[in-house]
Amino acid sequence: MAYEPKNYDHLKGGALKGFSDSQLDQHFTLYKGYVAKLNEIESKLAEADNTKPNYSFSEYTELKRREAVAFNGSFLHELYFENLGANASISPELQKALDAQGGKDKLVADLKATALSGPGWALLTRNRRDGKLHTYFIAEHHLGLPIEQDLLLVLDSWEHAFMVDYGIKRPDYINAFNENINWAEVSKRFAR
Ligand SMILES: [Fe+2]
């Protein structure tokens, strides 16, 4: 099955304070590239010879090694774009979970610190093992992602997400991100 990239043009035209159209357009182009590569990898895997996998090299092995990069690169971006669009509406259930762990501001501050830990992704999740909210850092798109998580809020902390608008000022970008969180979408994910 081929994946179709989604259109997020509704985020342009000043819908997000602190995000220029040029920044968003370049990010959309990059996201579409991951979807195209995911389709390419899946179609090549369907044809690849899986009878001689090899740690050093085989076409099949390399495709397998990079499959999660393109998959997560595609769908982490969708989660990111979809949790943007300032909306302060938090469900009572999510509010309760946030309050039980020191409040929204504390967790958002921890997500910021997570995102400042390097280029990659910062996630706010519900950990299915302890039922609590957690923040985690993913390098690239696939390194360090703990299993058993419901992804609630996704923050892209790669340079391409902010260099056009903020240069090397990652903290300023994260502050802008925090101003544009769609808490209604986060609440919807929490309810699932
Ligand atoms: Fe990105």
pLDDT digits (tens, 9 = 90+) for 44-74: 999 999 999 999 999 999 999 999 999 999 9
Average pLDDT for 10-30:
98
Q: Which CATH number fits domain 92-191: 3.30.9.10, 3.90.400.10, 3.90.1170.50, 3.55.40.20?
A: 3.55.40.20
For 105, the token pair is: 């501001």
Report CA(137)–ligand 1 centroid distance (Å).
14
pLDDT at 28 over 80: yes
Report CA(24)–ligand 1 centroid distance (Å).
10
pLDDT at 1 over 90: no
pLDDT at 98 over 80: yes
Residue 138 CB burial class (10 angstroms; 0-12, 13-18, ≥19):
buried
In whole angstroms, what is the distance from residue 128 CA to residue 86 CA? 27
Residue 137 Cα distances to 54, 143, 187, angstroms: 30, 9, 21
Report CA(107)–ligand 1 centroid distance (Å).
22
Task: Say what the pLDDT of residue 84 is.
Answer: 98
Report CA(37)–ligand 1 centroid distance (Å).
15
Q: How many percent of the chain have pLDDT more than 90?
A: 99
* 125 beta partners: 134, 151
Report CA(170)–ligand 1 centroid distance (Å).
13
